[in-house]
Amino acid sequence: MDDGRSPKRRADGLDPNRGDFLAQAEPYRRELLAHCYRMTGSLHDAEDLVQETFLRAWKSYDRFEGKSSVRTWLHRIATNTCLTSLEGRQRRPLPTGLGAPSSQPTDDLVERAEVLWLEPLPDSSSEDPSDPSVIVGSRESVRLAFVAALQHLSPRQRAVLVLRDVLQWKAAEVADAIGTSVAAVNSLLQRARAQLDAVGPSQDDQLSPPESAEAREQLARYISAFEDYDIERLVEMFTAEAIWEMPPFDGWYQGGPAIGALIHHNCPANAAGDMRLLPLTANGQPAAAMYMRLPETGGRHVPFQLHVLDLGPDGITHVVAFLDTSLFAKFGLPEAL
C-alpha cells in the first residue's frame, strides 16, 4: 500500500521525498547532541554520532512510514548508533569516579592520558528548556554529576534509563527501539536506577541556576579572586566538603584549604593579571574559561582550563577544571585574549 513516503524513484535513482529530510530533522539536532552526550559522556563523540544518525536517517527516510514522530524516530536511530559505538569501549569517568581516596595537594600530579575522560557540554548545544514540547530540556539531565553517574551503567542500562526517565518513553517503546522485551527493559531500568541512586548526585542538592543573581554574584567573585591571584579569598568561597578535580590528572582534592594549597603549589600564575576568566555556562551550570599568561606566549593569555562549578547556598561545592584546551573552540571561545 502506498503510504505517501514511497513514490516512484526518479531516473537518477533519488527519492524525491528525501529533499525535505533536513527540514524535518534539523530542528532536533541540538537535543540529539545532548542525547548522544548523555550516552557517551563525550562532546566530541556526540557530534560524530549525531552526524552518523543523520546519515543513517537520510538513507532510510524513504522507508519512514510516519508511525511515530520524526523526533522519536531520530532518537531511536541515535540510541542504536550510540549503542553500536559504545561496544567494547571503556566508560568516561571523572577523577572521583576512579575509586581512589582524595589526594594531598603537595603530591605530584599524575596525568592519565590513557583514560578517556568525561567532557563538558556547552549550553548552546543542549535543548531549550523554554520549549514545553521538549522534555529533555531539564538541566538535571545534562548536569555534569548526572552524566558522570550514567557512566557507571552499562550502555544498555544507560539507554533504557535515558529513554524512560529523561525522554519519558513507555517501556514498550523502549523495548521496540533497542530490540528486547518489556520485561527486559523493566529489569534493566530497575538495576540502572538502583546503581544511579548509589553513585549519582543527591536529590537534596540545592544548586543555584546559572542565571540567578546569587550564582552570577558567586561566579563574579570566583573570577575576581583568580584574576587577583588571591588564593585566601578563593579558599573562603569553598564549603568544608568541596571537591576539586582536573582531568586528565587523576587526583581529586577536598576542602578549601587543600584546594588552595593545590592551586598555590601547581598553578603557573605568579601574580595578579596572569589569569583571565570569561564567564559562561556548561551542562546547565555556571562555568568559566580560564586563560593563562605564560612566558612563552609573548604576553598573551592563552586557553588553560575550563571550569564547571556547582554553586550552593553555602558556597562552591564542586569544581571540575578541564585541561583539554580543544574544548575552547567547541564552546565558541577565542583562541587568545
Reading the block at residue 89, the C-alpha cell is 569501549
Identify the CA nearest to 206 among candidates 126, 143, 254, 152.
Answer: 143
In this predicted structure, the answer to whether residue 1 has a pLDDT above a threshold of 60 is no
Return the CATH number of 213-330, one of 3.40.640.10, 3.40.50.300, 3.30.230.10, 3.10.450.50: 3.10.450.50
217-228: average pLDDT: 97
What is the distance between the alpha carbons of residues 146 and 162, in angstroms, rounded to a whole number?
11
Q: What is the pTM of this model?
A: 0.88
pLDDT tens across 158-207, in order? 999 999 999 999 999 999 999 999 999 999 999 999 999 988 777 667 78
Identify the CA nearest to 53 among candidates 79, 34, 18.
Answer: 79
CATH topology of domain 20-89+120-199: Butyryl-CoA Dehydrogenase, subunit A; domain 3 (1.20.140)
- Give how far Cα 42 sits from Cα of 71, 184, 210, Å: 22, 27, 22
Reading the block at residue 295, the C-alpha cell is 612566558
Q: What is the DSSP letter of 164?
A: I
pLDDT tens across 195-217, in order? 999 887 776 677 888 989 999 99
pLDDT tens across 230-254, in order? 999 999 999 999 999 999 999 999 9
Range(s) of the chain covered by CATH 1.20.140.160: 20-89+120-199
Reading the block at residue 14, the C-alpha cell is 533519488
Range(s) of the chain covered by CATH 3.10.450.50: 213-330
Q: Where on the phi/psi map is residue 83: left (φ > 0), alpha (ψ -120 to 50), or beta?
A: alpha
